[in-house]
Structure 1
């Protein structure tokens, strides 16, 4: 499974890249605002700066919700850098935009997916990725991981090339569950990824090794 880090923070992206397991980045206007990135020119430059750090795909989200606006923004974002994947919301005009952009060779991440039906429409329209939101479904007492499994099974059965990008990952256990459900990608906070390193037996074993070494070497 691929790891994307979900942030606009360049330091966190560099840390994830240095870890050696990063495959890409997802970000959105909310994450940009959190980092104080304002203005169209600054936002576009920030996407370019992210692309300079990572080797993989970088999802850049449109703001428009109408077909013409999404096309215009999507083409402008895609022109920024070859690594850019245009993030389009799963609404009626969004599906039309996915079809148009993908037919022009522009890769698309169809986001805000909350049902198998939405994922099916996005895949048929040619999306490179679909992004089901695990945590937000869990918030309303719906099984987000089960949706990941259902979409992955559907894509495998019908041989869709669209990848399942599990989004709204809240913690490390979500990552493990996404692996078991068959997600192609998990996009998550850096803390969730580094959380995979943590185990009390690892800490205990290392402590014992160091203690034994110190005994042998005075």
Structure 2
């Protein structure tokens, strides 16, 4: 048995890519996308026709509307390949505007509906800011499932649980990156790997809390730098993994032991925690890593959204 098959015995495997041509060989259950992944994919020659198609079929549409149509086209193609769900992201430039996020999310769902897609297979990705979480709360009440991303801290996860979102994507690799950079020459890779990895520990704390208190929100570890981080989270509800790391797992023989155990989490001595807006903002502000990585992630996704619109503009010219 290879490690990918072993992992699938404990965890739902999700492909983190916009390259739907790769998905057939990897056979994930679900797939996730973001502006950076769509931008990377659309610059490949095999996707040039799809970019042209979106522009030609929507003459005169504003750039943000074209971008949403391109995102949905990728989502449609992905859903032809995976048996489960696809996550499509709201423009990160709206991360601090609840109403604008609601409007944009509903527009994405309407586009999927117009394309004949069963929207139960679509998760709307939103940055886990306070405003994004409140938008997700309202969307869930309207029957639209959400995936809260750029999640780096326990308070973000708890606020998402209180909002009854469908799924959260706590990041691993970017947390690891931050602590490694802070430690500099003092960083001990061996001592900070596997279950001792700070990103892994963050996801485990969230997973244990959710399972202990019976939270229905799914936990999907995201943003991995190496296979060790993935294996240390075997048993998490879902893990979204890049094609390169999926291939490494598929090419490595060996069993995968359970690392996160929902039954065991139920017996842990944990106290309930909740965050109103003031407590959420203070707790996030008090966490330098989460504050910096959330801001950095929003900036990066926003910049790639602009670049995507520039490609669409060039195609329309």
- TM-score bin, normalised by smaller chain: 0.7 to 0.9
1:191-210 → structure 2 map (5 Å cutoff): 191-199=244-252
**Which stretch shows the higher mean deviation, 8-17 or 82-91?**
8-17
Hey, what does 1:30 align to over in structure 2? 36
- Residue 77 of structure 1 pairs with residue 108 of structure 2: yes
Aligned alpha-carbon RMSD (Å):
1.7
Secondary structure, aligned partner of 1:141: helix
Residue deviations 1:142-186 (CA, integer Å, cap 9, x gap): 70000111001100111101111101012222210111xx42111
Q: Please give the alpha-carbon distance, in whole angstroms, between the structure 1 residues aligned to 2:103 and 2:172.
A: 30
5+ residue gaps in structure 1?
A: 202-218
- Decide whether the 8 Å contact of 2:71 with 2:88 is kept in 1: no
- Once the two structures are TM-superposed, the CA of residue 5 in structure 1 deviates from its matched residue by 0.5
More strand as a share of residues: 1
Hey, what does 1:151 align to over in structure 2? 206
Secondary structure, aligned partner of 2:173: helix
1:57-76 → structure 2 map (5 Å cutoff): 57-63=85-91, 64-65=94-95, 66-76=97-107
- Once the two structures are TM-superposed, the CA of residue 199 in structure 1 deviates from its matched residue by 4.1
2:72 to 44, 48, 66: 44
Q: Aligned pair in 2 of structure 1 residues 62, 199: CA closer, same or farther (>3 Å)?
A: closer
1:57-206 → structure 2 map (5 Å cutoff): 57-63=85-91, 64-65=94-95, 66-79=97-110, 80=112, 81=117, 82=119, 83-141=121-179, 143-179=198-234, 182-199=235-252
Secondary structure, aligned partner of 2:87: strand
Residue deviations 1:164-215 (CA, integer Å, cap 9, x gap): 1101012222210111xx42111011221232233479xxxxxxxxxxxxxx
- Residue 56 of structure 1 pairs with residue 84 of structure 2: yes
Q: Please give the alpha-carbon distance, in whole angstroms, between the structure 1 residues aligned to 2:40 and 2:105.
A: 22
Q: Please give the alpha-carbon distance, in whole angstroms, between the structure 2 residues aligned to 1:199 and 1:67.
A: 44
Residue deviations 1:121-148 (CA, integer Å, cap 9, x gap): 0111011111111000000117000011
Secondary structure, aligned partner of 2:233: helix
- Decide whether the 8 Å contact of 1:77 with 1:84 is kept in 2: no
**Which stretch shows the higher mean deviation, 159-168 or 138-147?**
138-147
Give the TM-score of the pair, scaled to structure 1. 0.84
Q: Please give the alpha-carbon distance, in whole angstroms, between the structure 2 residues aligned to 1:15 and 1:28.
A: 21
Give the TM-score of the pair, scaled to structure 2. 0.59
- Decide whether the 8 Å contact of 1:78 with 1:85 is kept in 2: no
Q: Aligned pair in 2 of structure 1 residues 72, 200: CA closer, same or farther (>3 Å)?
A: closer
